[in-house]
Structure 1
């Protein structure tokens, strides 16, 4: 093959930018507030915000819609119908949540052989990780992920040192050095940021998984493969081995993150089940009281120009929907994480990353 043809082939295989946005927010191309609401915010805070919106919406509807709220209640069994329906919905919803919890817990149950296989797979992966990081694999999830991230940064620096040692002076080699330097800078910077966020993060909160989601390992795996293939004729065996080692460390991060993600999903769903059960008891009591004892004669005054009956009804309705709002808050986070981690390995699904 002629030099011109070879150069054209290399140019076709190169990317104009070997680095990319590393944080999930930057890769998603969405605003900070939306991602904070979907992922970063405490789920109880999100539930409180949703409850406040429900309360305000109900209150405004009662104030501005005709006929007046008091007249509507007086003309029929509105409160009885509304809160009797909510009692049925609460009982059905709590039963469904308990069923979901049983499904999550059932994944941990199984015969002795299955449990032995799970243990064997876990120990095998810890052995591989120990070989990768050169020391005992940490037991803490945040330290476990951080050790893999740190190992990939060290291997990237080793790659840069080997590439800098090449001295043929060809144009292709200069391109390789430039791309590797840019790639390693991006990887090390990303690894430092993620490592700092993982340091001290406690599993059970979202902090561990949130930090792991910001390590853009899939793009980095693709770049190691591309550099190895495009510059196959310009690198020696040491550089090729360094690229393979870096690729292996990045490939280890994928299943490690997925394992932590799976554990977090189970943890979050169990937390959700407990919170819904806790919230369902006062919600049932409030709904029963409103359906049985409250009518237009119970609250006859007004506060800030709004009838007390409307204030009480809006508050009572908000309390009865809290279990459902908890479900929404948790599902928003779990569904968002699942959507953004559908692919494992060097597959880019979002247009903003291509």
Structure 2
């Protein structure tokens, strides 16, 4: 195995350098399988941007904004109500929000139309799409040995399950091999793959498309790194591998390679699904947001709320609650786009290309 040029090690000067580099490379075979391990980020952050329910995250954003608004108003603007009257703040705040809501809703409807337009096309294009889909399914059926499921989670489950079975066959085939270094690599590789495959299969069981469960389970199967390590094993030990071993390696590589486009296709369908959901939800919340903004403009200026609740001026609470409601479409947009953008960034490369520094 060649030395890593970035390691800063003079191989000629140190006769043990190759051994040390070989050991470091081997230790990487069984690490960083799941998305959280590869990203090295906290569970809270991953829940907020990926795994958490988008309406729930939207609600948390709204609550956080409301509490912050009320806290700032109570601490730094003791004469909040008089400030509202003298500076015409209500008219400025909510007239601006009405314009923002209408503009934002129009933009979201445009995005929805663009997403839907991807599904439209002439008969020839639709036939080509259908032909490509059926070719992929037929090839997958040949590998699996049974009809491909129609459910996305079951489809991915079968591919992952096949890779697990092939990894076990590879491990059994290498058991009697005389190359101890090859056996150690294969044992570590297959142990990592089998454990990762079983974990992903458990996550896919019962997962329904439309929720994020299918996508997040697929992200936890780092097929690209597995392909890379498989190629490295074949390249480092060509003389120790029999024809049967090489056939098993090629079959496992083909299965892992099929997982890539299958995941990308399901991810693309989820993106379209999520963006359509986002469009619908923003349209739904825009109506009450406009109603609240209009009511504040039309009626609030003539009403006074001098009393306090839990030590906070009622005017701050009312204006903060109304302003938070008008921002709900924006909070929805943040919660959905954060998930879509994060998934897109984590799956930019298809195949054994590692873009994250933490996973190299």
Give the shorter-chain TM-score range: over 0.9
Q: What's the counterpart of residue 299 of structure 1?
A: 305
| Alpha carbons 1:74, 1:296 under 8 Å: kept | no
Aligned match for 2:187, one of 156, 181, 186:
181
Give the TM-score of the pair, scaled to structure 1: 0.94
Q: What's the counterpart of residue 124 of structure 1?
A: 135
What CA distance in whole angstroms lies between the structure 1 residues aligned with 2:254 and 2:162?
Answer: 10
User: Which stretches of structure 1, 4 residues or longer, exceed 6 Å deviation after superposition?
Assistant: 7-14
Change (3 A) 1:8 1:32: closer
Does 1:59 pair with 2:59? no
What CA distance in whole angstroms lies between the structure 2 residues aligned with 1:144 and 1:158?
Answer: 22
Does 1:110 pair with 2:121? yes
Aligned match for 2:148, one of 137, 149, 163:
137
| Alpha carbons 2:26, 2:185 under 8 Å: kept | no
SS of structure 1 residue aligned to 2:108? helix
Deviation digits for residues 9-43 of structure 1, max 9, x if unmatched? Answer: 89877723221221100110111111111111111
Give the TM-score of the pair, scaled to structure 2: 0.92
| Alpha carbons 2:74, 2:312 under 8 Å: kept | yes
Q: What's the counterpart of residue 218 of structure 1?
A: 224
SS of structure 1 residue aligned to 2:87? coil
Does 1:16 pair with 2:40? no
Cα deviation for residue 71 of structure 1 reads 1.3
Does 1:271 pair with 2:277? yes
Cα deviation for residue 8 of structure 1 reads 9.4
Cα deviation for residue 296 of structure 1 reads 6.1
Cα deviation for residue 105 of structure 1 reads 0.2
Q: What's the counterpart of residue 105 of structure 2?
A: 94
| Alpha carbons 1:87, 1:284 under 8 Å: kept | yes
Cα deviation for residue 290 of structure 1 reads 0.1
Aligned match for 1:281, one of 280, 287, 300:
287
What are the ranges of 5 or more consecutive residues in structure 1 without an aligned counterpart?
Answer: 1-6
Cα deviation for residue 351 of structure 1 reads 1.4
SS of structure 2 residue aligned to 1:201? coil
Deviation digits for residues 291-319 of structure 1, max 9, x if unmatched? Answer: 11102634333222222222111100000
Aligned match for 1:157, one of 147, 150, 168:
168
What are the ranges of 5 or more consecutive residues in structure 2 without an aligned counterpart?
Answer: 1-15
Deviation digits for residues 315-347 of structure 1, max 9, x if unmatched? Answer: 000000000000000011111101111111001
Q: What's the counterpart of residue 323 of structure 2?
A: 317
Change (3 A) 1:13 1:114: farther
| Alpha carbons 1:81, 1:291 under 8 Å: kept | no
Does 1:71 pair with 2:82? yes
Cα deviation for residue 67 of structure 1 reads 5.8
Q: What's the counterpart of residue 254 of structure 2?
A: 248
Q: What's the counterpart of residue 3 of structure 1?
A: none
What CA distance in whole angstroms lies between the structure 2 residues aligned with 1:193 and 1:73?
Answer: 57
| Alpha carbons 1:70, 1:296 under 8 Å: kept | no
Provide the aligned C-alpha RMSD in A: 1.8
Change (3 A) 1:137 1:11: farther
